[in-house]
Amino acid sequence: MRFIAYLFLGMGIFFATFGNIGILRFPDVYTRLQASSKCGITSVVSIFIGLMILEGLSFITVRILIITIFFLITSPVSFHAIGRSAYEEGILPWRKKKTEGKQ
């Protein structure tokens, strides 16, 4: 049981690391948004699941479950608001550079 919890914690650290590297490396707002939202939500939820397994059935587990449900509802909404704000401001999506011509 403890080994499964450590597996979930390691998976959360893995996804958090690659989400941050994606934010640093990707070229555009929209691609950074994709890397950040997927890896961020996956890492947070898997670390919470690992903590719930580690703690067992107690009073802390219910509160962690409430925080997880709140996070699953609100985090896509805020990322969508950021993407919509970028689209309305007129930022064009990134395209791969051609061999000649502009951009």
Partner 1 sequence: MGVNILTIVILLLLINSLVSVYRVIIGPTHQDRLIGLNLILSQVTVIMVVAAVNFHRTIYLDVALVYAILSYISIIAITKYFKRRRLRK
**Site residues (CB under 8 A) for partner 1?**
2, 6, 9, 12-13, 16-17, 19-21, 23-24, 29, 32-33, 36, 40, 43-44, 47-48, 51, 54-55, 59-60, 63-64, 66-67, 70-71, 74-75, 77-79, 81-86, 88-89, 91
Name which of 3 and 100 has its Cβ closer to partner 1. 3
Could you give the CA distance from residue 56 to residue 22 in angstroms, rounded to a whole number? 34
Q: How many CB atoms lie within 10 A of CB 8?
A: 18
- By C-beta, is 2 or 100 nearer to partner 1? 2
CA terminus-to-terminus distance, the chain: 54
Complex with partner 1: residue 73 or 100, whichever CB lies closer = 73
Packing angle of the helix pair 2-25, 29-55 (nearest 10 deg)? 170
Q: Helix, strand or coil for residue 90? A: coil
Task: Please report how close the Cβ of residue 96 comes to partner 1 at its closest, in angstroms.
Answer: 19
